[in-house]
Structures are given as C-alpha cells and as structure tokens.
Amino acid sequence: MGYKHKGFDISKVTVIGAGQIGPDICLHFSKVFWKDHVGFVLLDISEDALANAKGKIERKIDKGRETGAFKPEMAEAMKNSITYTTDYGNAAGSDIVLEAATEDERIKDLIFRQVEAQTDAHCLFFSNSSHMKPEVIFKNIADKKRAMVTHYFFPAERNPVVEVVPGTDTSPVLVKNVMSLYEAIGKVPIEVKSSYGYAIDPIFEGLCELAILCLEKGYGTVKEIDMMAQKTLHQGVGPFTALNLTGGNPITNHGLEEMRKTHIQWFRSPKTLQEHTASESKWDTAKRGGQVEVAPEKAAMLRKQFLGGYFALASYIMDLGISNTDDLDMATEIALVIAPPFSLMNKTGIDESYNLVQEWCREHTDFPFPKSLEQAKAAGGWKISNIVRSTHDKVAVLTIRRPQVLNALNLQVLAQLQEEVQMAEADSGIEAIVITGFGTKAFVSGADIGMLASLKTPEEGYGNSHSFQQYLNYIEQCKKPVVCALNGFAFGGGNELAMSCTARIAKKGLPVAACQPEVNLGFIAGAGGTQRLPRLVGVDVAAEILRTARPVSGKEAIAIGLVDREATGDLIEDAVVFAKELAAGKVSPHLLPKTPLGGTFSPKNIDTGHLSKKIDSILTRAIYEGINLTLQEGLELESRLFGECLLTEDMKIGLENFMKNGPKIKAEFKHN
C-alpha cells in the first residue's frame, strides 16, 4: 500500500543504529505509518543492541496500549511492522535509509557506502547526526542530491523538532518536499544551513559548558547551578540533569572540542566534563522534586551568567546566518524545553539584554560580542513572527505557526497576520491571499486561554473582543480575495478568523472542521462568531451550534455553507487555484450580508445540558438582537456582551476548570 505525499511513495524505511535514538525514530515512523502498511528495518551490527532496542520499542508500545494512546490493532501492527537485523542486505528495496549511528566520520561513511550498494537510485539517504556537516557524511556517495541530515531531538518519538540540513549538492526541491513530509507526519521541521552542530546544539552544549565553567569557578554547586539555570531560562530540566538523562557527556565533550575548531575559541570541553566522560560518571543533581536553596547573591550572579550566556549563544547562531529568528526562537523552545531566546530578550528589554551580554563577554573574553545583537538593539528589539509567508503562483500563502498551542490566536499573532495581509495587499505582484495553519491537526485551536484567563473586568473583556474584531474586520475588508485553507479543525477564534475570509476550503474528510466551544468555558464567542455565523449559515443553525458547542464535520460544513469547497488534491495547491479563480472573477464568493437580516426569529428550545444558563441567556441576546442590526453594530453588541460575561461566576468556573482539567471534564456551572 505505502504512504504517498508530495511525490514520495514510501513502502519501506530502514533505520540504522539501535543505540540511544535510532529505536525511537523507528517507533515514531511505525506510529505514523501503521495504517499504510509501511515496513521498517532496524539494522545494527550488534545483536545485543537489537535485542535491547526491540525490548525498548515494545515496552513503549505496550505502555501506549495500556494508556489508550494506541488501540490494540494499532499496537499489534506497529510491532509487526519492524524487522530487527544485522544484515545490510535487508536494506534493499528501501525508499528511505535513515542512519542514527555513532558520531564518527569513518563509521557514517562506511554505512552509506554499504547502503548505496544495496539500494536503488530513488532511495533517500538521511543522517541523524547531531553535529557533522552533510558534505562530510556523504562525501563518498555517488548521488549527493538525495542526501541530507535530519537531526532529531531527545526523545525522538515525542520531541517534534527536526533540523533539516541539506548539503551543497542536495536537491532544493527534495528539501522542500522533506520539510512538507515531516510536517505531515507530526514533526516541526526547520531548515538549517550546513554548519557543524547546526543551529540548536551549539546553544544546548554551550549552556552545558557554561554550567560546568560556573562549577569550576566556584559560583555554585552542581545542584545550585542546575536549579538556577532551570529557573532563569524556564527550562524543563537544568543542564546537568539533561546531560544525565540523555547520556550526553561523551557527545557534548566531543562536540565542544570540535566547535572550538569550527566556530570560536570559547567553545571547549571543560576539564570536569572530560573527567566525567572518562569515568562514565553522572552529575550529582537534585532528586526529582527536590528543593535547592541558593543564597541571594549567588542566585543573582548565576542569573546574570545564564541570561548573558544564553543571549550570546543564540545571537551567535544568528551571526552564522544558518537560521532565522522565527525558526530558532520556536525550535529552541520546543526542542530544548526552554524560554525562546529572542522573545526572552525582548521581554527582558533589548537594552538590558544587550548589557547582560556585554558584561558576560567581558568575563568570557573568547566569545566575540554578536553583531546581530548590535543590530537588534538598534532596531529596538528582535523582529519575531508566528506567520510564515511563501508565494505560490502570485498568491501569498500565510501559515500561522504555533505548534506548541495548535496555532492558538492572541492579539500579537493577529497583529502579525494583519501586517502580512497588508504587505500582500500592497504588493502588485500578488493576486490573492491564502491563510492556513501549520501541521495537520488544527487550523487554529482557538484563542489563547492564558490571554482570556488574564481578563478581569468587563472593560478588559470588551477591549479584548473589540481588538480581535478589528483585526478580523481588516481581513474581511481586504481588497484582494482571502481564502482560508482549513488544514485541520477551526475552534473558536479559528472559525471566527475563517469566517472573516472571502471564502473557505477544507482538507477533504475532516471529522471536525469547526466548533465554537466558548460556552463550555463559560463565555460567548467574542471575535464575531455570534454575528457572522448566523449570517453565513442561517440563524437557527448557527444558534444551535453556538449554544451547544457541538463540533461540525467537514461534510456538514459544506452542506450548511460554512465551507465553500473540499480539496480534492493537495490543500494548498487547491486553495491557490481557488484564490486565483476568485481574483479573476471566475467564481463568486458566498459573502455574508452586512445589513440587518430582517424577518422574525426567536430562540428555540435547545437542550444545553450542563452548560451555564446565565451564559446562554447572554448568548441568545447576542444572536437574536444582533441579526436586527448591521454587522458592525452587531459586533459592537457582541463585544459589550462578551465583557458582561466577566461579571458572571460561571466564566471564572469554566476557565479555571479548563486550565486545571482540560476539555474533557465538564465544568460545574452555578448558572449565575
């Protein structure tokens, strides 16, 4: 059967290396391709390593089955899809060979020369190297166009980030398609230019080096330094704990020594790291949940060390020109579970950040002050955006990319989106615009819950709603057609954004295309949902959807007029065609009326179950009073009534329940 995507037809994948990360990569592949009957080979020269890898993979599958993450049929298919072997002949017929062996140039070269002899010319060669340049790894294969580094992060089956690193001769079309493939199978890929260590590892290993240097200078104990790094940089775990968890002493020791040759003299393996590597000993970190007290003076000094060093390292990567602020900010946060560096610098204040790095570089004299930070200071801060823009046949494609929160909206993201729409509207070479979301699960999962929970007064609620509406009104009034391409579900503000576009196209067969779930959380839609939905699909249909918070499938969305088309092929390609047809006047959009709807409508008796009766009364006012107003007047009414929700006890109950228990536990509303 096989998996097909963007010219790929994948029936067999071989992963070479049954050590730390190879089994996890194989596990991820088996998880995403299990329905497509793709076969997997896990290859290693060691029978013991293969036996350990099989045990590790099957334990994780069994655990997934116990928790309900994997259904029995899926778990069994995953186990049966993997062959464990020491025979390189079993790589024959592979569509992809991904090497995850030791960081050794000779070993990697030997592996790929053997693989090239066993596979066909169409087989793609990926290396999960964490440091080595693709030009070095693939130097002896005949066809370098099909080879690149795909660097995963620990743990590979769960950590979504993959650095895609093409070599000098790698096909640009292949790189583009591989980026799309990884997005389609649930990863968050970033393209990085060829450089030793790529973009993220020099930051991680640099922080490890800094922690050890602080230890050697007597700035604190392992436990104190680990805790202060974690606290200062909002890390999941401190650098010493990370080294213990990943078994990272040897590779960090080697990587730092190599970066001293390839990058700057500051990078080096401290003596204490060399000793721990040689003795195979772990760092004396605090036990999980253990408390570590640090004296205020010591804490202040360590805070300066880690802020200055972190900001310097991230800025240094920008000096190398191998990535961009948007990619590096996002990927560093996800891959390393750490505060995004450029966002943290902006939050800290660019002047203070500049001074911290300046002071840090005066102590660490081998680290040159980053030129990119000079430029950021002159510009008043780092420019960062959650909107990725590309151009397809004179159509601007704007992708909302916030994978950590399934592309949830806040006012900052909407401001970035408006800026991109403005630029596309002013560009004479652009005929139309497509707005879509990153990934395959969600177009936009709604408004950022943290933002909503921060609202305290009706005035704040009104202001938030009104600001959201202003951004969406701008999109609605764009002089060029704007097509919303629903790559996944549109919840809350996501559906409200979709309805502000000229037209909507959805990925075929979406089980859930749209939902207005606000009443589950104890408030009403506040970005136009109570006004645009009735005008688009009819008052009674819209009222039932809004009042019950029930999801709408792709099939129903087409039937009621919420979505104009389903994609028959690639979603973005079909959306671009649709947008160009609208721009050329070949098709007419289904525009919602902006005048009062007229007619006699009254609320129906609807079973709203456990939902708040108080919020339902506010919602019905918004719907049934709004239809007798102009759209603009109705939006003003919605903003006022959204603010009114903050006077209720039920909005507080709904938000607190969601933040504590998630969406599956029903809130116990008081109806007042």
Give the whole-angstrom CA distance, residue 148 versus residue 178. Answer: 10
β-strand pairing of 161-166 with 147-152? antiparallel
Give the whole-angstrom CA distance, residue 614 versus residue 625. Answer: 17
Helix ranges (H only) for 584-612 are none
Residue 357 has pLDDT above 90, yes or no: yes
Residue 121 has pLDDT above 90, yes or no: yes
For residues 652 and 521, the answer to whether their CB atoms sit within 8 Å is no
Q: Is 491 helix (H, G, I), strand (E, B) or coil?
A: strand
- pLDDT, average across residues 28-44: 96
- pLDDT, average across residues 574-595: 95
> How many other CB atoms sit within 10 Å of the CB of residue 343?
17
Q: What is the pLDDT of residues 307-351, one digit of tens each?
A: 999 999 999 999 999 999 999 999 999 999 999 999 999 999 999
Three-state secondary structure along 151-184? Answer: EECCCCCCCCEEEEEECCCCCHHHHHHHHHHHHH
Whose tokens are 């592996």? That residue is: 111
Describe the crossing of helices 249-262 and 201-216 by its angle, rounded to 10 degrees. 100
Do the domains spanning 3-191 and 387-661 agree at the CATH topology level? no
Q: What is the pLDDT of residues 57-79, one digit of tens each?
A: 999 999 999 999 999 999 999 99
- What is the structure's pLDDT at 289? 79
Residue 290 has pLDDT above 90, yes or no: no
Of 496, 636, 638, 644, the catalytic one is: 496
Give the whole-angstrom CA distance, residue 411 versus residue 471. Answer: 8
Which residues of 20-62 form beta strands (DSSP E)? 39-43
Whole-number percent of the chain with pLDDT over 90? 95
For residues 131 and 102, the answer to whether their CB atoms sit within 8 Å is no
Write out the two tokens for 595.
Answer: 């005048």
Residue 598 has pLDDT above 90, yes or no: no
At 291, is the pLDDT very low, low, confident or very high (cuts 50, 70, 90)? confident
Q: What is the pLDDT of residues 71-119, one digit of tens each?
A: 999 999 999 999 999 999 999 999 999 999 999 999 999 999 999 999 9
Domains of the chain: which residue ranges? 3-191, 201-378, 387-661
- What is the structure's pLDDT at 664? 87
Q: What is the pLDDT of residues 1-35, one digit of tens each?
A: 799 998 899 999 999 999 989 999 999 999 999 99
Give the whole-angstrom CA distance, residue 634 versus residue 641. Answer: 10
Q: Which is more confidently placed, 373 or 287?
A: 373
Residue 216 has pLDDT above 90, yes or no: yes
Torsion of Cα atoms, 257 then 261 then 266 then 269, to 10°: 10
Largest Cα separation within the chain, whole Å, is: 83
What superfamily in CATH does domain 387-661 come from?
Answer: 2-enoyl-CoA Hydratase; Chain A, domain 1 (3.90.226.10)
Element (H, E) at 506: strand 503-506
Q: What share of the chain is helix, strand, coil (3-state, %, to 5)?
A: 50, 10, 35
Determine whether 209 is an active site residue. no
Write out the two tokens for 647.
Answer: 């006077």
Give the whole-angstrom CA distance, residue 261 versus residue 252. Answer: 14
- pLDDT, average across residues 381-398: 97
Determine whether 496 is an active site residue. yes
Of 518, 636, 638, 644, the catalytic one is: 518
For residues 15 and 43, the answer to whether their CB atoms sit within 8 Å is yes
Pick the CATH number of 201-378 from 3.40.50.300, 3.40.1280.10, 1.10.1040.50, 3.40.50.970: 1.10.1040.50
3-191 carries CATH number 3.40.50.720:
yes
Side-chain-side CA neighbours of 83 within 13 Å: the count stands at: 15
Residue 242 exposed, middle or buried by CB count within 10 Å (0-12, 13-18, 19+): buried
> How many other CB atoms sit within 10 Å of the CB of residue 268?
17
Three-state secondary structure along 302-362? Answer: HHHHHHHHHHHHHHHHHHHCCCCHHHHHHHHHHHHCCCCHHHHHHHHCHHHHHHHHHHHHH
Going 125 to 174 to 191 to 132, the CA torsion angle's sign is positive
At 600, is the pLDDT very low, low, confident or very high (cuts 50, 70, 90)? confident
Whole-number percent of the chain with pLDDT over 70? 100
Q: Is 149 helix (H, G, I), strand (E, B) or coil?
A: strand
Whose tokens are 């707005």? That residue is: 435
Exposure string of 589-603, with b = 16+ CB inside 10 Å and e = fewer, is eeebeeeebeeebeb
- pLDDT, average across residues 172-189: 97
Q: What is the pLDDT of residues 463-476, one digit of tens each?
A: 999 999 999 999 99
Element (H, E) at 207: helix 201-216
Distances (CA, A) of 393 to 348, 356, 389: 41, 46, 13
Query: Which residues, 6 or more positions from 577, have their beta carbon under 8 angstroms from its beta carbon?
Result: none
Q: Letter for the amino acid at 425?
A: E
Peptide bond into 593 cis (omega under 30): no
